[in-house]
Structure 1
Amino acid sequence: MPDYVRYSAEIETVAPDERSTIDGLKEQFGHILDATLADYGRGVRAVHAKAHGIACGTLSVVEGLPRELAQGLFAAPGRYDAVMRFSTNPGDILDDAISVPRGLAMKVMEVDGERLPGSERDTTQDFVMANAPAFVARDASQFLSSLKLLAKTTDRVEGGKKLLSAALRGVEAGLEAVGLESATLKTMGAAPQVHPLGETYFSQTAYRYGDHVAKFQVRPVAPALLALRDERIDTKGRPDAIREDVDAALTAHGGAWELRVQLATDPDAMPVEDATVAWDEEASPYRTVALIEIPIQPGWGERQRALDEALAFSPWHGLAAHRPLGNINRARRESYRYSADRRREANGCPLHEPLGI
């Protein structure tokens, strides 16, 4: 049995400049939100603005989990309503020819237990993930530098972004051919045009896991989804190609994924405060704690569009047993709320945490 890292408040180290960094993030989010509101006439998210699919289903906690995994939401077998949102990371709604990393947000409903601050009246547990094991920035200060560049390129000519994306994909392909890759280039437009339903998603940042510390992963297990792994989407002449292909796949066969957990075993090799470090899977492999099942349904349409407009996702919607950890997550708390509040105000529509599907 590995010696798992025990959770305590002392596991986090708050940087002296975090307050000013969070204020800077909110300022840049504001620039992005102002630009997109002027473009679209409605409020959209400051990051991950474009949804490529919304799917409703269930999350079932695995029976007989060992003690170290039977924590928080996963302490006992249970079946919960859940919503999955597939997206890409820019704050503007771009032609899918501009290739950027895939994101997955999931909301689990009617979850009982002690709540995180600011989430006391809710009964949801959110998971926010991307299709890479590590975050592009070490901490929120580094992320702020990247966000300033993204804010400056929001509302720029889309044709130039397409050309840049194509050029960066060529550079990234060259790097990968010699065993290298660049998370920064992928964020700027060099990410491969993979199918979102075939991807594995990672929380990238650390979370409390009851008595322990962990990262999360969502991995496809349905054969139809495994067949989509590494499949490239043809975006030529199709500005919403990803949405169309996700819709076709969910309409044809739905999907199934495993939610998995990687428990920290070494506080130095598996840091909480440096989000660029992917934890060693040989030292601590991901282990399955729940099954996510999405029955056959449309992936996009008016119902999905309305649901997308009504929902907000944040790692701070959840249980105290799954408290977000580290600098990036601490910065997300206010900045994500700021983005949701601005969207609500612009659209004149309240955003409530749902009680169920």
Structure 2
Amino acid sequence: MPLPQPIPFKPEVEQILPDEQTTIAGLNEAFDQILETTARNYKHAVRAVHAKSHGVLVATFTVNPNLPDHLAQGMFASPATYEAYVRLSTNAGDILPDVVSLPRGMAIKVVGVRGPRLSDAEGQSQDFVLVNGPVFQAPNAEKFLGKLKLLAKTTDKMESGKVALSSVLRGVNKALTAVGIESVAINAMGGAPNVDPLGETYFSVTPFRYGDFVAKFRLVPASADLKDRSGVEIDASDNENAIRDTVRAEVATINGRWNFQVQLCRDIEKQPIEDPTVEWKEDEAPFETVATLSIAAQDSWSAYNVRNIDEAMRFSVWTGIEAHQPLGNINRARKATYRHSSDFRQATNGCPIHEPR
């Protein structure tokens, strides 16, 4: 049975709620509690989410040639090769020992992407912010705010309790996984497998405009040296930075490659725009490869890259071109909150946040 045609993009695919600005203000208040607590304790401001980095990489992002019309959209309309920067992270707003196992994140900044820019998007970069799971933990920003308020109250408190809870939840998660159940909530609380980030598959989770269409994105290990790390767990029992050290040792010797893929929306009921807790099923909306992300052997924790990528850059889904506009309630809430977090870091650390050229 042939697949339905991709749904055309039009502004009406979004359904804006009347109280979104009130929710965004609440999110900023909760993030302030996290930001101020961690800055006071660390004597240095860190990100409100995904505070802990495991590696910062220089990469190459290559758009594939001869893409069919439905994939040759936006920055993928023509073959091109770009320099890119990659940040690997864990999703908490405080910097915890790696034995507290949480979902992984990968942020990509592709430099030199031409085209009309999104409102307030400086520079000429296109950012992609991804996590190693296909769905978000809340259906909308209001529900996420409720979870965030609880997290803000526990930021940088009861570290030993978080370590113990994470150990228990990992056991629960393994039992559930054995019978085919995956819990986003348990993962977010510290029960995620403590996996090597280089072997993970990463998802945008939320949808974006894809030129004339609407899509989600995915990044999949393609080279053997990355595939071999898929699902491999890291023992962090006696090293609070075990993930960073593992990644550093691995990246020093490999030439890794991921496939960057697009999943076009083909049925707005089955692939909703506004609820990122609903997984877009691959048999109803297949992923198609449009580009590759490649890294050469390098030092993933060099002082230069830590200073210039981890400290001096922001990664935001709202840094990019109009052809890849973020869509949906969660993405709309991310615009002001991402800026709020990076402005706090900039003011507190006295380090200007900049876009590379």
- The TM-score bracket by the shorter chain reads over 0.9
Equivalent position of 1:254 in the other structure: 255
8 A contact 2:271–2:278 mirrored in 1: yes
Residue 288 (structure 1) aligned with residue 279 (structure 2)? no
Counterpart residue identity of residue 91, structure 1? G
For 1:291 and 1:87, locate their aligned partners in 2 and report how far apart those are by CA, in whole Å. Answer: 20
Equivalent position of 2:181 in the other structure: 180
Q: CA deviation at 1:208?
A: 0.2
For 2:80 and 2:302, locate their aligned partners in 1 and report how far apart those are by CA, in whole Å. Answer: 30
For 1:185 and 1:145, locate their aligned partners in 2 and report how far apart those are by CA, in whole Å. Answer: 16
8 A contact 2:4–2:267 mirrored in 1: no
8 A contact 2:50–2:92 mirrored in 1: yes
Counterpart residue identity of residue 340, structure 2? Y
For 2:168 and 2:124, locate their aligned partners in 1 and report how far apart those are by CA, in whole Å. Answer: 45
Write the deviation string for residues 223-276 of structure 1: whole angstroms up to 9, x where unpaired: 011000110101011100000111111101131111100000001100000000
Equivalent position of 1:222 in the other structure: 223
Q: CA deviation at 1:177?
A: 2.1
Equivalent position of 1:6 in the other structure: 8
Equivalent position of 1:24 in the other structure: 26
Equivalent position of 1:117 in the other structure: 119
Map residues 245-324 of structure 1 onto 2, 5 A cutoff.
245-306=246-307, 307-324=309-326
Equivalent position of 1:54 in the other structure: 56
Map residues 146-225 of structure 1 onto 2, 5 A cutoff.
146-225=147-226
Counterpart residue identity of residue 81, structure 1? E
Q: CA deviation at 1:111?
A: 0.7
Q: CA deviation at 1:305?
A: 1.6
Equivalent position of 1:63 in the other structure: 65
Q: Which runs of 4+ in 1 moved over 6 A?
A: none
RMSD over equivalenced CA pairs, Å:
0.9
8 A contact 1:197–1:246 mirrored in 2: yes
For 1:236 and 1:268, locate their aligned partners in 2 and report how far apart those are by CA, in whole Å. Answer: 45
For 2:97 and 2:193, locate their aligned partners in 1 and report how far apart those are by CA, in whole Å. Answer: 15
Q: CA deviation at 1:2?
A: 3.3
Counterpart residue identity of residue 262, structure 1? Q
* SS in structure 1 at match of 2:253: helix
Counterpart residue identity of residue 69, structure 1? L
8 A contact 1:254–1:297 mirrored in 2: no
* SS in structure 1 at match of 2:239: coil
Aligned match for 2:107, one of 105, 110, 114: 105
Q: Percent identity?
A: 49
Counterpart residue identity of residue 239, structure 2? R
Q: CA deviation at 1:145?
A: 1.1
Write the deviation string for residues 146-171 of structure 1: whole angstroms up to 9, x where unpaired: 11111111020211110011011112
Q: CA deviation at 1:115?
A: 0.5
For 1:265 and 1:157, locate their aligned partners in 2 and report how far apart those are by CA, in whole Å. Answer: 46
Write the deviation string for residues 313-356 of structure 1: whole angstroms up to 9, x where unpaired: 0000000000000000000000000000000000011101111x
Equivalent position of 1:95 in the other structure: 97
For 1:150 and 1:214, locate their aligned partners in 2 and report how far apart those are by CA, in whole Å. Answer: 30
Q: CA deviation at 1:295?
A: 0.7
Residue 234 (structure 1) aligned with residue 235 (structure 2)? yes
Unmatched runs of 5 consecutive residues or more in structure 2: none
* SS in structure 2 at match of 1:216: strand
